[in-house]
Amino acid sequence: MNMMNRSETMPGTMLKKERPYSVRGRTEILSGRAEGKALAERVLKYLETLGPDRVLPLNFGKVRFIDFSCADEFLTRVLRRIMSGELGTRFIVLKGMSHTVEENIAAALSIRDLVCPRIDREGNIALLGKIGTELVDTYRLAARRRKITARDVMEIAPHVRISAISNRLAKLQKMGLLVRIRDVAVRSGGRQFVYEPVC
C-alpha cells in the first residue's frame, strides 16, 4: 500500500493521520489476555511499517465487547511501547467505540495510569484514562490550536510559572499526547518548544 495515499496531513502540522486500522479478533467479543496480546502484536507490527510522524486511528467499530483483561493486555502493551519512544513519532487514537467497549478500555487505562485520545462518533476528541484536569485543559488548548508553546498555555494558566507550564507540556509529550515539532526563538531571548497534539 502506498504510504502517501493512506495518510493525510493537516496544513502547517507535522503529524499525518493514517487510514483507520480495524480492530478485529476471533469473534466480535474480544476476551482474555492471549487475544489482547495477539491484537497488540498485530498493531505494533503495523505501526512499525508506517513512516515516521504518523497517527494511527484504531477503529473498534467491529467490536461488540472487550473484556477488561483483553483491553488491559492490548492497550497497555501498545501505549507503553509508544511512551518508551521505541516507535519514534508514531501514535494511536481510539475511535468507533460503543459505550460498552469504551467502559472497559477506560477502566484498564485508568488502573495502569495511561492515557489515550479517543474520537467519538460525532468527531469530538476526549482523553481516556487517568490524567489531571490541568493536563486535560492544556491538551484541549493544543487540540484547538493544533500547535502550542508554553507561552500559549499562559492564556489558560496566567498565574502559573513558565517553567511549570513547560513541565506540563513535557509530561503530555511523555504520555504520547503531544509531539515536539521544533524550537523557536522568543523575543525576550532564549528558545521555546512548539508542540503538536496527536489528535
Partner 1 sequence: MQEFQIDSPSLTAFTMDPIFGRAANLVQTQRKRREGARLLLEDVEFIDPYGLVSLWVIVRYLRRRFSRVRVILPQDRDLQSYLRRMNFSVAIRGIARLENDQHWKRVTGKPSDVLLEMTTIEKQADVVKVTRDILTRIGRILRSELQYDDKDITAFSTVVAEVCTNVFDHSEDTGMVAAQRYTKSDGTKYAIVAVADLGIGVRESLEKRYREAGQWSHLQAIVNALRKEYSRRPERGLGLFMVSKIVGDYRGSLHIRSGDGRLYLRYRARGISSAPFPGTQLSISLSSRAEEKS
* Residues engaged in binding partner 1 (CB under 8 A): 26-27, 29, 31-35, 64-65, 67-69, 72, 76, 99-100, 103-104, 107-108, 111
Q: Which is nearer to partner 1, 64 or 130 (CB)?
A: 64
Give the DSSP H/E element, type plus range, for residue 163: helix 162-174
Q: Which is nearer to partner 1, 108 or 153 (CB)?
A: 108
For residue 91, the minimal CB distance to partner 1 (Å) is: 22
- Nearest-CA neighbor of 147 among 195, 106, 111, 179? 195
Q: Which is nearer to partner 1, 26 or 45 (CB)?
A: 26
For residue 71, the minimal CB distance to partner 1 (Å) is: 10
For residue 69, the minimal CB distance to partner 1 (Å) is: 6
State how far the Cα of 178 lies from the Cα of 39, in Å rounded to an integer: 25
Q: Give the type of residue at 52.
A: P
Residues 6+ positions from 56 with CB-CB distance below 8 Å: 18, 20, 21, 43, 46, 47, 50, 90, 91, 92, 93
Burial profile 82-98: b = 16 or more Cβ within 10 angstroms, e = fewer: bbeeebebbbbbbbbbe
State how far the Cα of 24 lies from the Cα of 151, in Å rounded to an integer: 43
Asked if 110 and 130 touch (Cβ cutoff 8 Å), the reply is: yes
State how far the Cα of 125 lies from the Cα of 93, in Å rounded to an integer: 10
Q: Which is nearer to partner 1, 34 or 156 (CB)?
A: 34
Q: Which is nearer to partner 1, 107 or 154 (CB)?
A: 107
For residue 28, the minimal CB distance to partner 1 (Å) is: 9
For residue 172, the minimal CB distance to partner 1 (Å) is: 25
For residue 121, the minimal CB distance to partner 1 (Å) is: 15
Provide φ and ψ at 151, rounded to 5°: -65, -35
Q: Which is nearer to partner 1, 76 or 173 (CB)?
A: 76
